[in-house]
Chain A
Amino acid sequence: MTTSMDSRADRPRPGETDRLLEVKDLHVEFHSREGVAHAINGVDLHLDRGETLAVLGESGSGKSVTAQAIMGILDMPPAVIPRGQILFQGRDLLTMKPRERRAVRGAEIAMIFQDALSSLNPVFPVGWQIAEMFRQHRGLNRSDAKAQAIRLMELVNIPAAKERVNAYPHQFSGGMRQRIMIAMAVALDPKVLIADEPTTALDVTVQAQVMDLLKELQAQFHMGLILITHDLGVVADIADRINVMYGGSIMESADVRDLYAHPGHPYTQGLLDSIPRLDMKGQELYAIKGLPPSLMRMPSGCPFHPRCAHAQDVCRSEFPPRVELGPRHESACHFAQEVVRG
């Protein structure tokens, strides 16, 4: 079983490219009594094998909703996907039969969440929860599945895995719990791993260890990794490419170095300027003025215009087109060229 999967991961089948995931013009709405909230408005993104894509944004920017739409774990209703495609290795997840979709979920595309304590089921042993992947997706028997669970707990460096396999989530520290989440997610060698704020709930020292583990596993299994975060510091370290989200749309997409060196969107600039820097010690910290938009009452035109220093009349009326600023560097801003030149 394992060997066949490994060979599949190493050698692309004929006709299969490195492109794992391609999201096209994705829209997500939430329907409630109060009205319709436009959480995602035409998101495009793609992910290649072995690549790390960071999706950066404040809360409410739609980054988690995007992730959950890809996973297919949005509550529908109230969520509705009126338009868009999510292609996984060329097949549209949104038009798949529920059974096929479920086979992809967890096995091919896996996800880890921010708060491991509440994301793990409190009443089952951690080993049982990892083993469940093998029992449900692979039909392994109890003892084989448990052996796999121990193997995975060792893989994510949980000390005394054999003894702790029957322990419950609350008996682990925050960092260890997140490792268990990771073990569960990579259990079946998924091709895509989505990590939604995986370290936000952890202590700073533990954060680094967990990120290192993620990086290591990604390299080892050659996974595509989507890292969802609001933390620019985490991103610089690990990501190859960054998508900056705001108000349910992707504002800028670029390689990490490119984005840090030549931000092509006022919002990105604002984010970068608000990072405290050692060489600017003593100066006042920069903060983007205003608040993120309400999804119920999205501003017309560019969603960022109420907070943007560059805003002109056109920004208030028209959604900005995507402007190509260089190889693999796009910005959705009417004045992208001016912004990037500074």
Chain B
Amino acid sequence: MSKYALRRLIQMIPVVLGVTFLIYALVYALPGDPTAGKCGERPCSPAYVAEFRKTYNLNDPLPLQYVKYLGNVVQGDLGESQYGQPIRDELAERFGTTFKLGVVALVFEVVVGLLAGVLAALRRGGFLDNLVLVSTLFVIAIPVFVTGRALQLYLGVRAGLFPATVSFEPTWFELLLPGFVLGSTSLAYLARLMRTNLGDNLSADYVRTAHAKGLSTRRVVGVHALRNSMIPVVTFIGYDFGALLGGAIITEGIFNVPGVGQYVFRAINDRDGQVVVGTVTALVLVYLVANLVVDLLYAYLDPRISHD
């Protein structure tokens, strides 16, 4: 297990380097004016451009530029907003809220998604199965920002069941609706994944063996089949975490959740390029770390990976 963890950790290094280089190359090294759009609506002054080129080492050769940039990122220096505020400070303040929102979304996703998937798999072809299939299809097809706006209007504003926007220090209750919206697409995918996967596992040989051992159906499904079905589910959740972070930009924008996503959402509207790039880079790194955690969990769930 620990050997595997170490291997994964080492394997992650080139990926982190590669991804940060990719972002760097795309953002700073592409031909074109890197300061375009970084000064709000007007063009930047020559003094600002000179300062900018110096701050981001744009006069150095590309590899050196990248190394210096990486050094900054590693130290947590993601640059400053156009108002001169360090992005790091802003992120530190906002991170807790986004984390809270992510937890709500994940809980919805896992609890409701898995439950729907399991019930559908157990009743293949039945009413519930078809209901899950059709409803998840619709959830996937309707974009999050439409669901978000619609639920905000009808459940929040019109029915008054939930707060339409959240306060500066959002409570769990306030985050219920945004969290559900954020998790809804993933929830639908997860339900479908679980349905297919558990369905396949239920006809696996080891499930037949478990029946032959005289175990109760509850135990055969709940322990033997389900444990195996969790393996792809965990992979999916890890992979999908990136989509969840991207979705947070939209959801937090819609519901005015004062988190990291809203920071990006506003920066895009304010045309504050440094904030967009710096924050999204941080989110990508969070995504990579989350994936490492998922990989370790995966190894725990699937002994074929870790015990060689």
Contact = CB atoms under 8 A, between A and B. Distances in A.
Direct contact of A and B (CB under 8 A): yes
A121 B307 contact: no
A184 B213 contact: yes
Contact of A71 (B212, B231, B301): B212
Given A122-B228, A122-B304, A136-B219, A113 B208 contact: yes
B173 to A, nearest CB: 38
A102 B307 CA distance: 34
Interface residues of A, number: 32
A115 interface: yes
A96 interface: no
Say whether chain B's binding surface is mostly helix, strand, loop, or mixed.
helix
A120 B209 contact: yes
Contacts of A119: 205-206, 208-209
Interface stretch (A103-111, A213-221, A284-292): A103-111
Contacts of B302: 122-123
B205 A104 contact: no
Contacts of A103: 214
A75 B303 contact: no
A120 B224 CA distance: 10
A33 B231 CA distance: 32
B176 interface: no
Nearest to A130: B213
A307 interface: no
Contacts of B206: 118-122
Nearest to B208: A73
B211 interface: yes
B74 to A, nearest CB: 37
A110 B212 contact: yes
Contact of A106 (B213, B227, B228, B301): B213
A115 B208 CA distance: 12
Contacts of A105: 211-214
Nearest to B210: A121
Nearest to A170: B304
Contacts of B212: 71, 73, 105-106, 110-111, 113
B205 to A, nearest CB: 4
A136 B304 contact: no
B215 A122 contact: no
A110 B304 CA distance: 27
A337 to B, nearest CB: 41
B203 interface: yes
A29 B127 CA distance: 25
A314 to B, nearest CB: 40
* Most-contacted residue by chain A among B208, B210, B301, B307 (CB, 10 A): B208
Contact of B213 (A75, A115, A123, A132): A132
A252 to B, nearest CB: 28
B216 interface: yes
Contacts of A124: 224, 227
B229 to A, nearest CB: 10
A224 to B, nearest CB: 16
A132 B215 contact: yes
Contacts of B208: 73, 113, 119
A181 B214 CA distance: 15
B227 A118 contact: no
A23 B231 CA distance: 41
Interface in B187-225: 203-206, 208-216, 219, 224
Nearest to A99: B216
A104 B209 CA distance: 15
* Most-contacted residue by chain A among B209, B213, B231 (CB, 10 A): B213
Nearest to A75: B203
Interface in A126-176: 132-133, 136-137, 167-168, 170-171
B228 A113 contact: no
A168 B213 contact: no
A104 B214 contact: yes
Nearest to A120: B206
A121 B214 contact: no
Contacts of A125: 303
Interface in A59-79: 71-73, 75
Given A113-B208, A121-B206, A136 B214 contact: yes
A102 B212 CA distance: 9
A102 B210 CA distance: 11
Interface in B256-292: none
A138 to B, nearest CB: 11
17 contacts: A75-B203, A104-B214, A113-B205, A113-B212, A115-B205, A119-B205, A121-B210, A121-B228, A122-B303, A122-B304, A123-B228, A124-B227, A125-B303, A133-B213, A136-B214, A168-B303, A170-B307
Interface of A: 71-73, 75, 102-107, 110-111, 113, 115, 118-125, 132-133, 136-137, 167-168, 170-171, 181, 184
Given A119-B209, A124-B224, 18 more contacts: A72-B211, A73-B211, A102-B215, A104-B214, A105-B211, A106-B213, A106-B214, A111-B212, A118-B204, A118-B205, A118-B206, A121-B228, A132-B213, A136-B213, A136-B219, A167-B307, A168-B307, A184-B213
Nearest 8 CB-CB pairs, A to B?
Answer: A106-B214, A105-B214, A118-B205, A121-B206, A106-B213, A168-B303, A73-B211, A119-B205
